[in-house]
Structure 1
Amino acid sequence: MLNQKNVPFIVKSVSGHPRVENERDVLKRFQTRTPYLRPLVDEIQDPAEPTTILLKHLESDLLEASIQKPLNKREIQYVTKRVLQALSVIHEDGYVHTDVKPNNIFVNFKKEQEAVRFSDVQLGDLGGSYPQDSEWATSGTLVGAPIWSSPEVIMETPWNTATDIWSFGTLVISLLYGGDFNIFRPKTVRYGDETYNLEVVKSQFRYFGPFPPKITEIFNAETLTSIVRLMELIPPETMTPFRFITEREVAKEDREFVLRIMHMDWRDRPTAKELLQDEWFHVG
Structure 2
Amino acid sequence: MSSLFKIGRILNGRLTQYEISKQIQETVWLARTLTNDNPDVIKSVRDHFRVENERDVLRRFQGRTPYLRPMIDEIKEPSEPTTIMLKYLDDDLCHASDIRTLNRKELRYVSKRILEALNTLHEDGFVHTDIKLHNILVNYAANSDSKDSNRFTDVKLADVGSSYPADHKYAKEGTTIGAPVWRSSEVMLELPWGTPTDIWSFGVYLIRLIYGGNFDIFASRGVTFDDEGFNARILLQHFKYFGPFPPKYAELFGRGEAEKELDMVIQWVFDNVPESERKPFSQVSSSEVSREDREFICKIMKLDPRDRPTAKELLQDR
Fold-level similarity (TM above 0.5): yes
Aligned match of 1:84? 115
Aligned match of 2:85? 54
Aligned match of 2:183? 149
**Matched residue type, 1:91:** H
Tell me if structure 1 keeps the 8 A contact 2:93–2:133.
yes
Shift of 1:78: 0.6
Write 1 or 2 for the structure with the bigger share of strand: 2
Aligned match of 1:25? 56
Report Cα offsets for 1:119-147 as digits up to 9, x if no partner.
00000011110111001100000000010
Report Cα offsets for 1:27-79 as digits up to 9, x if no partner.
11000000000000111112221111110000001000000000001111110
Alignment of 1:202-217 (within 5 A): 202-217=236-251
Is residue 2 from structure 1 mapped to residue 32 from structure 2 by the alignment? yes
Shift of 1:238: 1.6
Report Cα offsets for 1:235-262 as digits up to 9, x if no partner.
2222111011111111111111101100
Aligned match of 1:179? 213
Q: TM-score, normalised by structure 2?
A: 0.86
Shift of 1:84: 0.2
Tell me if structure 1 keeps the 8 A contact 2:129–2:162.
yes
Aligned match of 2:125? 94
Q: Give 2:315's match in structure 1, choosing from 257, 276, 283.
A: 276
Q: Give 2:196's match in structure 1, choosing from 131, 154, 162.
A: 162
RMSD across aligned positions (CA): 1.0
Alpha-carbon separation, structure 1, partners of 2:278 and 2:208: 20
Percent of aligned positions that are identical: 52
Alignment of 1:111-122 (within 5 A): 111-113=142-144, 115-122=149-156
**Matched residue type, 2:136:** I
**Matched residue type, 1:137:** A
SS at match of 2:228: coil
Alignment of 1:250-269 (within 5 A): 250-269=289-308
Q: Give 1:109's match in structure 2, choosing from 140, 143, 154.
A: 140
**Matched residue type, 1:190:** T
Tell me if structure 2 keeps the 8 A contact 1:44–1:51.
yes
**Matched residue type, 1:2:** R
Bigger drift between 85-94 and 47-56 goes to: 47-56
Which protein shows a greater Rg? 2
Report Cα offsets for 1:139-177 as digits up to 9, x if no partner.
000000010110000111100000000000000001101
Over 3 Å off, 4+ runs: none
Shift of 1:218: 1.6
Tell me if structure 1 keeps the 8 A contact 2:192–2:252.
no
Report Cα offsets for 1:176-215 as digits up to 9, x if no partner.
0112221111223211322111111111110000011111
SS at match of 2:77: coil
Q: Which runs of 5+ in 2 are unaligned?
A: 1-30, 254-258
Report Cα offsets for 1:203-237 as digits up to 9, x if no partner.
11100000111113222322221111111111222
Count residues with an aligned counterpart: 279
Tell me if structure 2 keeps the 8 A contact 1:105–1:121.
yes
Aligned match of 1:234? 273
Tell me if structure 2 keeps the 8 A contact 1:63–1:179.
no
